[in-house]
Amino acid sequence: MKALDDVRQRLVAGEFEFSRHAFRRAVERNISEQEIREAGASAELIEDYPDDKYAPSALLLGFSAAGRALHFQVTFGDTALAKIITIYEPDPSEWIEHRKRR
């Protein structure tokens, strides 16, 4: 996966695209592009998937300006854009402090 700083910069700049799945989830969960940009600014690596099915990816955690926690799985494919594979609010019953799986 590309350097985390590069991923953050792309997210903040809006240089990302959604998979169909991620787009549907963002709409269903009322996650705005602005929240993604805000969360991207402080995103931290939670899990790394260097051998993911189509391209290396990683699960990131970031917080919107309003404090909303967001997990987003991001990959870089054949384009210069970061691709968001999925996006959601971490479920406290599944995550400890949004960072570690229970």
The predicted-structure confidence for 39-64, as pLDDT tens digits, reads as follows 999 999 999 999 988 888 999 999 99
Q: What is the pLDDT of residue 45?
A: 96
| Cβ pair 53, 75 in contact under 8 A | no
pTM for the complete prediction? 0.90
Q: Give pLDDT tens digits for 63-97.
A: 999 999 999 999 976 678 899 999 999 999 999 99
Nearest to 74 by CA among 102, 99, 54: 54
12 has pLDDT over 60 = yes
Q: What is the pLDDT of residue 72?
A: 94
